[in-house]
Amino acid sequence: MREQRHQRMRLEISREAARLFWEHGVAATSGEQIANAVGVSVRTLWRYFRNKESCAEPVLAQDVEECVAVLRRWPREVSLEDHLFEWATNRPKNPDQQSYDDAVIKMTVLAEKEPDLRAAWLMTHDRIERELAEIIADRLRRSADDIEVRLHAAAATAVLRVISEDVSAALMAGADRASLGNPIKHMAHAVRVATGGAVGDPVDP
């Protein structure tokens, strides 16, 4: 229970930091402002985080956890499009989830121009790549250390990152979601292209 409270507090601070970073910029946002927004002391803030930039990490880490969990549940006999569509259709839609999604989108856009945030963003995708190597290896019945598997994982991760950045930038620029087409279909198609068709289709159970 104590660990859960700790993680919830870190995530709450992270969401507020994301909002402040977006509204004022990272350089213009102080640790004191973040602490005040959450209702904790600056001393307490530094017990949770090593510096203000690291406040963005829990939001990005939670995004990775969700992404990895979704990919781990990908049934062998189901295509990537169908699996992602099923997840998107049944994903809980509530104000708390929307707040989390908004924070991730903001951090994704800011990471393009903020080096410290960029480092955290790229580290999250390094973890996704490692997890994808295991998932792809299982689907292809090959070793996760196989060079082809690693290349497929790297290519698929790059697709996820680039499309996430593109969609996030469009949304924060005011684009209507309907105008973005079907990002999930686009993502699944791009994964197939990037991996030469090796990843994306159903495989034998």
What does the pLDDT read at residue 71? 94
- The residue ranges of the chain whose pLDDT is under 50 are none
**Distance separating alpha carbons of residues 203 and 191, to the nearest angstrom:** 15
Q: Judge whether 138 and 174 are in contact, CB under 8 Å.
A: no
pTM (2 d.p.)? 0.86
Tokens in use for 16?
A: 């507020």
What does the pLDDT read at residue 141? 96
**Distance separating alpha carbons of residues 91 and 85, to the nearest angstrom:** 10
Which amino acid, 42? V
What does the pLDDT read at residue 205? 85
What does the pLDDT read at residue 116? 82
Identify the helix (H) or strand (E) that includes residue 154: helix 147-172
What does the pLDDT read at residue 2? 79
